[in-house]
Structure 1
Amino acid sequence: MFPGTPPARRLLLLTALLGGPAVADDLFIDTDLPQVLTATRLKQSPAAVPGSMTVLDSALIHASGARDVPELLRLVPGMMIGYGAGNQPTVNYHGSNVNDARRMQVLIDGRSVYRAGLATVDWSDIPLAIEDIERIEVFRGPNTVSYGANALMAVVNILTRRPADSHGTRLKITRGQDGINDFYASQGLGWDGGDLRLSMSGLQDDGFDKNQYGQDYRDSRRLTRFNLSVSHSLAPDQTLDWQLAAKEGSNQRPYTYKPVFPFVTGRGDNADLDAKDYAGSLRWSIDFNPEHSLYVQGSAQQFDRQQVWRACDATLAFSPELTRLWQLDPNYAERVARNANNPPNSRDPVLQGLRNQIKSQWDNGGSREVCGDVDQSTRETRYDLEIQDTLSLTDSLRLLSGLNYRYDRADSQTYFNGRLDDRTWRLFGQLEWRADEHWILQGGAMFENSQLSGTSLTPRVAVNYLITPRQGLRAVYSEAVRSPDMFENNVNWSYTVRNLTPNVLGLRDGEYFVKTRGPGNLDQERMRSRELGYNGFFSDLDLNLDVKLFYDEITGMISEPLKNNQYIASNANRARFSGSETQLDWRLSPRDRLRVSYAYVDAWASNPDDRRLSAHNSGSVGWLRDWGSGWSSALFYYGDDALNQYRYERVDLRVAKRLRIHGSSVELAALWQQRLDDQPTTVEQNRYDSRHRLSVSAELEF
């Protein structure tokens, strides 16, 4: 094409021709570039990042009309949003088990909200209002190197609005179909050397309408949140930032217990869950000079889930002999329990002797129904301390290093027979070398030692070729791990059922015969990831484009469902994800913005559960328009071809009018959501009566 020209130079000339003269000139111009932080903890331009990034800015968040973070993440290519129920969203990158999203790290201003005890993120219960979010940075790929085990497949970093940018009063209410009833109120103020934002918010809705049998579905949610964010300027080069957050609410849960024994109705009460979360963080930052900065951050948080309900089964469920039989042979014990009126015989004399005693108990009142209180409450506590230093060694060499200590504790009489704790040390580093104006070499590693999971060392290496400062090619290889959580590895699961009526053998409390123990020796899941990509900003078109090709392999996967019935966890599973992703953000004119995301994912897994939440094709399209005179609109399409074998397609239209009244701003908005498919959402029981939903909001700022 260009005889005698080196290959790299040919690519540069081709890009210059495609992008126009302005793009070619950018090569030698020191322009102000947008920066992201989440990828390596270093501030970098999107073209220089060793991986794929998606940034959801405040304008996009506001225009979407989304009420919670999972709905916002539909705008991220490759992100799979599913629902176990209306108040139980699951978010996975590329795919995983439908019921348990275990492999993604989620941060709020650097504080992890990933629960170590039960390996999950309670998306409905995150103690943060959408209105307090400034932007969301999503690193699409493994990032154990920067954030430790559990950042296996992606990192979602939610960054809140700075108190200095939140002065004044904001009031907002939202009402809509399906029981939508939200509110938000915030007050921001500043003083010499400091700023503050205080907000209160609430969210509630009724979830899905009917299950697959046409019955009312108990999955509503109600929650109230409190957030306080304060920033102090201690000196020209020092700041102190601290936050407090709290959330209280309830999530409905239907009664789902199925009695083991025949001829028992099994009627009981609903298993609603009360959730209380508390968190606090403190960060001291110091800039020694433009080339050297340091911060120290400490945080504490508690996740409290209270779940007590009344369940019914046969008196025989509390038989010590049946408990002993379960401990010796769970498979045989289950067959005996399910056929208690005529249990199968065993050739083992010990098992046969227990079988005979159980049969006698059944014949002498063991079939009588008894009810009691089941307590499945949990409390998880975390303390975290981190030190990070960023140093520019030369004009072309930057070094980031840090140390982290984390203490996790889980309290549950049901799941852990008391308390279980873990201590984790992390040492991490990232080196960036700009060899010349085009080439960037980056490497990083995380050493981690966990009391329960052992040690791991995860590396990442990347090469970026900057065609211009705003356009770059990348090649990335990284490794990552996910530690088995306390439940998977160390569960000690048994039920003490209290307040039995009628009393069993004169006892007020009883031990349910099924007992589950974790293996205690599970290894970490391991991932190897390869990525080729391109990121570019075409200044003459005001167009951002990112393209990614990926091939990821996970070995040692723990895929067994978490259930108290012969739960046998292992590292025997594998998965492979390959495909491509594209995202485009194009400001067509000063009034129009077009945003497109698309992902093709070819997923394979040895366990079918690990590929059910992987759509081959998924994506979104959004058109934001400012019509002038205070009118604006946003039209979004979301779709995927199969999540758990169900297609999902939806169109959202938001229309808003902003008014100026005596120095105040009022925005009135309506959001219409229309389902284009007629299928359940993720699982069979998630059904709406209507394929559309209307909500309206009013927001006042002064």
Structure 2
Amino acid sequence: CFRDPLTGAQGPGGGLFFSQELRDLYLANNSDIDQTLAAAGADPGIQNRYATLQASGAQAFCGRAWLDTQETRYDLEIQDTLQVTDWARLVAGANLRHDRGESQAFLSGTGENVSRRLFANLAVKPVAPVTISLGGFWEHDDINGEHFSPRAGINWQVVRGHTLRASYARALRTPDIYEDQARINLPITDLNAPFAGNQQALLGWNPAYFFVTQQSPGMLKPERIRSRELGYYGRFFAGALGGFELDIRYFREELWDLVSGALNPFEFDPANDGEVEHRGTEAQLSWRPNARHLLRLTGAHVHTEANIATEQRFAARDSASALWHWRLGGGWSWSTAYYLARDYNDYPFERLDAQLGFRHRLHQTEVEWNFVVQHPLNKEPVVFVENQYQDDQRYWIGATVTF
């Protein structure tokens, strides 16, 4: 039930929030919520609507605000690997994808986008210990038009089992259906009497919507990233102790034209104003004491600089994980993992996972089943304060079919 915006008490005046007159006043005040509510008491149209609501005889204005969304994606991809010569290999492919979103609340109907992609990567060995990779990703979609993303990398095997690498890439994230086509109208349903079936007379329109509305300008540019990486990979004691593998990388990522503003019904700022730079180091150590066991440790330290404070939230300054995977035999496997993150939007994150898997063949098909239990080790929210789980355990069941 909605409280009366003029008195703060429950009553039929709560219907003002869903009246045609308050919507008109909101638009006349350049979509400023505070200014709209401050001016409502002196607006003649609002006064007339308020008198109509008070005369309705209702004790309260109650209903259901239904925030509906349904998303569908069809994705088809084909990829081919061609060994051109002993020193050259080409991986190329094509992708076709159709996205569709349906939402009366957020799109006022239906939005669609069809995208087409071509990609290729050529790896050549001009000399035995050196591999050079040149790749490209072309895409075109109905919302964003045509774009191209390049990548180049080089790997140098200094000695057997020890490799240095460097890479450079540019890429982008194109705006999605909601960012490009948002037309927010929050409907009210299941109204109490006398409002049910009498919205036109009592609220000024039928169907009735919440007075706040938003609409995307549809002029957003793709978000862009430029990435550089230096890395080292080494294998130690191969055969003696099962072998250790160490992978370390230093990276620098520059992102710009980010859509960093809020995109919710009450605050809608779809502008390409965000800029972020990430600099950091990641490391991974793996050990296979035998064919059945895998132990893995990871760690990362990331320094983030951004021109908008909200962009600081999405990368933890320090993070780590530990994994033990055990092949039990007969197609069964067991793994447990520990995850830790510090300064993750000012919150610590700790979780322990356990997974039981079973893989088997069914004629020419391979089926893998997984049962996962996730147990948080603290009561802190995940990244955002509203992401607070009430239950300690979360359970997942998954199946993968390969044919």
For normalisation by structure 1, the TM-score amounts to 0.47
> Which letter maps to 1:324?
D
Q: Which residue number corresponds to residue 644 of structure 1? A: 345
Q: Which residue number corresponds to residue 615 of structure 1? A: 316
Q: Which residue number corresponds to residue 484 of structure 1? A: 175
CA contact (8 A) 1:547 1:583 kept: yes
Q: Which residue number corresponds to residue 336 of structure 1? A: 36
SS state of the match for residue 220, structure 2?
coil
SS state of the match for residue 521, structure 1?
coil
Matched, 1:576 2:277: yes
> Which letter maps to 1:526?
R
**Residue by residue, what CA displacement relative to the aligned partner does 1:325-354 show, whole Å, maximum 9, x if unpaired?**
2223245554232564x45xxxxxxxxxxx
SS state of the match for residue 235, structure 2?
strand
Matched, 1:511 2:209: yes
Q: Which residue number corresponds to residue 361 of structure 1? A: 49
Alignment of 1:43-192 (within 5 A): none
Q: In structure 1, what is the Cα distance between the partners aligned to 2:92 and 2:389?
A: 50
Q: In structure 2, what is the Cα distance between the partners aligned to 1:619 and 1:527?
A: 25
Q: Which residue number corresponds to residue 254 of structure 1? A: none
Q: In structure 1, what is the Cα distance between the partners aligned to 2:114 and 2:6?
A: 45
Q: Which residue number corresponds to residue 172 of structure 1? A: none
Q: In structure 2, what is the Cα distance between the partners aligned to 1:609 and 1:266?
A: 36
| Deviation (angstroms), 1:644 | 2.0
Q: In structure 2, what is the Cα distance between the partners aligned to 1:462 and 1:603?
A: 24
Q: In structure 1, what is the Cα distance between the partners aligned to 2:68 and 2:328?
A: 51
| Deviation (angstroms), 1:373 | 3.6
CA contact (8 A) 2:2 2:15 kept: no
Matched, 1:317 2:17: yes
Alignment of 1:91-490 (within 5 A): 261-263=5-7, 314-332=14-32, 334-337=34-37, 340=40, 342=41, 355-363=43-51, 365=53, 369-468=60-159, 470-490=161-181
Q: In structure 2, what is the Cα distance between the partners aligned to 1:401 and 1:263?
A: 65
| Deviation (angstroms), 1:404 | 2.2
Count how many residue pairs are aligned between Structure 1 and Structure 2. Answer: 367
Inter-CA distance 601–555: structure 2 relative to 1 (3 Å threshold) = same
Inter-CA distance 316–670: structure 2 relative to 1 (3 Å threshold) = closer
Q: Which moved more, 1:365-374 or 1:258-267?
A: 258-267
CA contact (8 A) 2:66 2:105 kept: yes
| Deviation (angstroms), 1:601 | 0.7
> Which letter maps to 1:556?
D
CA contact (8 A) 1:261 1:338 kept: no
Q: Which moved more, 1:497-506 or 1:422-431?
A: 497-506
| Deviation (angstroms), 1:670 | 12
Q: In structure 2, what is the Cα distance between the partners aligned to 1:627 and 1:613?
A: 37
CA contact (8 A) 1:325 1:333 kept: no
Q: In structure 2, what is the Cα distance between the partners aligned to 1:473 and 1:429?
A: 23
Q: In structure 1, what is the Cα distance between the partners aligned to 2:350 and 2:166?
A: 33
SS state of the match for residue 564, structure 1?
coil
SS state of the match for residue 562, structure 1?
coil
> Which letter maps to 2:27?
Q
Q: In structure 1, what is the Cα distance between the partners aligned to 2:100 and 2:217?
A: 19
Q: In structure 2, what is the Cα distance between the partners aligned to 1:409 and 1:475?
A: 39
| Deviation (angstroms), 1:484 | 0.7
| Deviation (angstroms), 1:634 | 6.6
Which of 542, 555, 558 is the matching residue for 2:259?
A: 558
Higher relative CO (Cα under 8 Å, sequence separation at least 6) belongs to 1
CA contact (8 A) 1:314 1:366 kept: no
Q: In structure 1, what is the Cα distance between the partners aligned to 2:161 and 2:2?
A: 59
Q: In structure 2, what is the Cα distance between the partners aligned to 1:389 and 1:623?
A: 34
| Deviation (angstroms), 1:441 | 0.7
| Deviation (angstroms), 1:447 | 1.3
> Which letter maps to 1:445?
G
> Which letter maps to 2:149?
T
Matched, 1:522 2:220: yes
Alignment of 1:528-543 (within 5 A): 528-538=226-236, 539-540=238-239, 541=241, 542-543=243-244
Q: Which residue number corresponds to residue 545 of structure 1? A: 246
Structure 2 gaps, min length 5: 357-370, 398-403
Inter-CA distance 625–457: structure 2 relative to 1 (3 Å threshold) = closer
Q: In structure 2, what is the Cα distance between the partners aligned to 1:626 and 1:420?
A: 46
Q: In structure 2, what is the Cα distance between the partners aligned to 1:452 and 1:363?
A: 46
| Deviation (angstroms), 1:451 | 1.0
SS state of the match for residue 111, structure 2?
strand
Q: In structure 1, what is the Cα distance between the partners aligned to 2:265 and 2:80?
A: 45
Inter-CA distance 624–444: structure 2 relative to 1 (3 Å threshold) = closer
> Which letter maps to 2:89?
R
Inter-CA distance 331–366: structure 2 relative to 1 (3 Å threshold) = farther
Q: Which residue number corresponds to residue 109 of structure 1? A: none
Q: Which residue number corresponds to residue 232 of structure 1? A: none
**Residue by residue, what CA displacement relative to the aligned partner does 1:396-436 show, whole Å, maximum 9, x if unpaired?**
11122222222222222222222221121212211111112
Q: In structure 2, what is the Cα distance between the partners aligned to 1:577 and 1:500?
A: 50
CA contact (8 A) 2:26 2:36 kept: no
CA contact (8 A) 1:500 1:509 kept: no
Inter-CA distance 316–599: structure 2 relative to 1 (3 Å threshold) = same
> Which letter maps to 1:584?
L
Alignment of 1:20-59 (within 5 A): none
> Which letter maps to 1:551?
R
Compare the two structures and name the one with the higher strand fraction: 2
**Residue by residue, what CA displacement relative to the aligned partner does 1:262-305 show, whole Å, maximum 9, x if unpaired?**
545689xxxxxxxxxxxxxxxxxxxxxxxxxxxxxxxxxxxxxx
